[in-house]
Homo-oligomer: A and B are copies of this chain.
C-alpha cells in the first residue's frame, strides 16, 4: 500500500544509508544521554531534581527514528564538504537540540487535554508513567534544555553561531512554527479544510522543525547563498512529504508497526491528505515532493548530498 521507491535511483548505489545513519545514531544517543542528565550540560552539578530528569530522559532516550538529528548532521556534512571536524560539536548540539524540541512536543501532545494518547514508541506515554504535572514540567524543561545545548559556555561553539542556531530553533518551535501548527490542528478537528489550509497547518506543525533541522545543520558550516536557497526547498519538500506519508501510514499500517495508535486521525475526524485527496493521489503527491527535494539538491552546488538524498527517500518510502 505504501508508495513504491520510484526515485531510489537518485541515491548513489554505493551509499549505504544504514551504515551512515547507524554510526551517527550511536553518537546522537550518547550525546543525548550525556546532556539530558542532572549534571549536564555544564560539566558540573546541574542541580536539577532527579525525578524531573528521569521523566526527561524517559521522554528522550531509547526511542524514535531521530530523523531530525540525522537531517542536521547530513546538512552539516553536505555544507562542510567532508571537513566536519572543526564544527562537529556544534552540529551534534544542534542535532540534539532539535530532537529535544521534538520530544517535548510529543510529551505535551500526548497529554489528556491534547491527544490523550497512552502509547508512544511502544511504551506508556510520559504522563501515564510519571503523572500529568511531571509530564508538563518535563516538556517545559526539555524546551529550555534545547536552548542550553545551543549556548555552551566553554568556547566550543562560536557565539555568532550560537545566536544563529537559537534564532532558527526558536522560530521553528514557536507560534509561527510547531506550536502554531498544533494550535491550528486543534482548532480544525471536524472542520472541512482546503488543501492549502491543510498544507499551511502541516508546514507549521511538522514542516517548520524539519526545515529548521536542515537549516541549522547548514549553519553549523558556512553555507553559500545558493546552497541555503536549495536546502530551504529541500527542507520544505521533505517536511511536507513527511506529513503526507504520515497520513498515508495512518490508514495503511497497523498499530504494532507504527508503535502508536493507527487510524487515530480518521477516528478523531481530523482532516488528512488521505481524507482530502484520497490514498492514490496522496501517494503520488509524496513522490512529487521527493522529486522536488532531489531536484533542489541537484541545484545546490553541493557535492556531498548522498545522505540528504537517502534521508529524503527514507521519509517518503518508510513503512512506519
Rounded to whole Å, the gap between the CB of A187 and the closest CB of chain B is: 6
What residues of B have a CB within 8 angstroms of the CB of A179 in the complex?
A: 52, 137, 140-141, 144
Map CB proximity to B onto A152-179 as digits: 1 under 8 Å, 0 otherwise: 0100000110111011011101111101
- Where chain A touches its partner, the secondary structure class is helix
A113 near B: Cβ within 8 Å? yes
10 contacts between A and B (CB under 8 A): A47-B180, A52-B180, A140-B140, A144-B171, A144-B175, A151-B164, A159-B162, A162-B163, A162-B167, A163-B163
Contact partner, A113, options B105, B136, B164, Cβ 8 Å: B136
Rounded to whole Å, the gap between the CB of A33 and the closest CB of chain B is: 15
What residues of B have a CB within 8 angstroms of the CB of A143 in the complex?
A: 140, 143-144
What residues of B have a CB within 8 angstroms of the CB of A162 in the complex?
A: 159, 162-163, 166-167
What residues of B have a CB within 8 angstroms of the CB of A187 in the complex?
A: 49, 51
Give the contacts of A188-222 with B (CB-CB under 8 A).
Answer: 204
What residues of B have a CB within 8 angstroms of the CB of A46 in the complex?
A: 175-176
- Point out residues on A near B: beta carbons under 8 Å: 38, 46-49, 51-53, 56, 104-105, 108, 111, 113-114, 131-134, 136-137, 139-141, 143-148, 150-151, 153, 159-160, 162-164, 166-167, 169-171, 173-177, 179-180, 182-184, 186-187, 204
Known: A46-B176, A175-B141, A183-B51. A148 touches B163 (CB 8 A): no
B183 touches A170 (CB 8 A): no
What residues of B have a CB within 8 angstroms of the CB of A151 in the complex?
A: 163-164, 166-167, 170
Contact partner, A160, options B141, B159, B169, B183, Cβ 8 Å: B159
A181 nearest in chain B by CB position: B49
Known: A52-B179, A111-B136, A114-B136. A174 touches B148 (CB 8 A): yes
With the chains together, A180 CA to B222 CA distance in Å?
36
What residues of B have a CB within 8 angstroms of the CB of A146 in the complex?
A: 170
A56 touches B175 (CB 8 A): yes
Rounded to whole Å, the gap between the CB of A208 and the closest CB of chain B is: 9
A48 touches B176 (CB 8 A): yes
Rounded to whole Å, the gap between the CB of A77 and the closest CB of chain B is: 24
A208 nearest in chain B by CB position: B47
Rounded to whole Å, the gap between the CB of A213 and the closest CB of chain B is: 16
With the chains together, A17 CA to B174 CA distance in Å?
35
What residues of B have a CB within 8 angstroms of the CB of A184 in the complex?
A: 49
Rounded to whole Å, the gap between the CB of A93 and the closest CB of chain B is: 12
Contact partner, A175, options B52, B113, B153, B177, Cβ 8 Å: B52
Rounded to whole Å, the gap between the CB of A228 and the closest CB of chain B is: 14
B167 touches A148 (CB 8 A): yes
With the chains together, A105 CA to B143 CA distance in Å?
13
What residues of B have a CB within 8 angstroms of the CB of A108 in the complex?
A: 136-137, 140
Rounded to whole Å, the gap between the CB of A273 and the closest CB of chain B is: 20
What residues of B have a CB within 8 angstroms of the CB of A163 in the complex?
A: 151, 159-160, 162-163, 166
